[in-house]
Amino acid sequence: MNFYFFYRTVYHCPFCNLCRVGKGLGVDFFHCMTCNCCLAMKLVEHKCREKGLETNCPICCEFLFTSSAAVRALPCGHFMHSACFQAYTSSHYTCPVCSKSLGDMAVYFGMLDALLATEQLPEEYRDKCQDILCNDCDRKGTSSFHWLYHKCGSCGSYNTRVIKSEPHCSTSTN
């Protein structure tokens, strides 16, 4: 009878006061004092968020700080499990916490520009406007009416939400 023992390398982080899976601080992990957590060395250039891992994964709701699963830092500074990120981004492009885009959307937004340039709205909607809030740059603005797409005049993102619809445009629109 053969017995196979599977083991993972474990180190103790004196700052977290927890044992973590990995080779150790300075080898494959570092402790970010602002976030107050151990992160993979490839995340040295992350956006710090005080006590960033002391929350639940927004997808599976497991507490991230004590989780042994790999964690991913998002560009906005939020965190989620790497496996949850893989599943979530197969159908979403925004952070589930703050709604900021998770990556460079320039190519996709360019395709929307081309699509909207060829589209003709019915006459009764052509002079209507909508006040919008951009999820990426946090600025308010005005956009021409559309059922789905509203481009931010400040940063060019389509990651926006409608705040209010106006009967007629009073200023130039995006």
What's residue 8's pLDDT?
72
Q: Which of 53-57, 70-74, 80-84 has the lowest mean pLDDT?
A: 70-74
pLDDT at 81 over 90: yes
The CATH number given to whatever domain includes residue 127 is 2.20.28
81 and 21 within one domain: yes
> Which band of pLDDT confidence, cut at 50, 70 and 90, is reported for residue 39?
confident
Q: Of 88, 108, 127, which closes a domain? A: 88
> Which band of pLDDT confidence, cut at 50, 70 and 90, is reported for residue 89?
very high
Note whether residue 19 is domain-resident: yes
Note whether residue 2 is domain-resident: no
Q: Whole-model pTM? A: 0.75
Chain mean position to CA 21? 26
Note whether residue 1 is domain-resident: no
Measured torsion, CA atoms of residues 137, 105, 77, 71, in degrees rounded to the nearest 10: 170
Beta bridge partners of 80: 72
Please tell me the number of Cα atoms within 13 Å of 167 on its side-chain side. Answer: 0
Instruction: Give the structural domain span for 82.
Output: 10-88
Note whether residue 79 is domain-resident: yes
What's residue 46's pLDDT?
81
Note whether residue 102 is domain-resident: no
Number of separate domains in the chain: 2
pLDDT at 172 over 50: no
What's residue 166's pLDDT?
73
Measured CA to CA, the distance from residue 93 to residue 1 in angstroms comes to 50
Share of the chain above pLDDT 70, in %: 92
124 and 74 within one domain: no
Measured CA to CA, the distance from residue 75 to residue 68 in angstroms comes to 22
The residues, any chain, with a CB within 8 Å of residue 77's CB and separated by 6 or more, are 46, 47, 48, 49, 52
The residues, any chain, with a CB within 8 Å of residue 15's CB and separated by 6 or more, are 31, 33, 36, 38
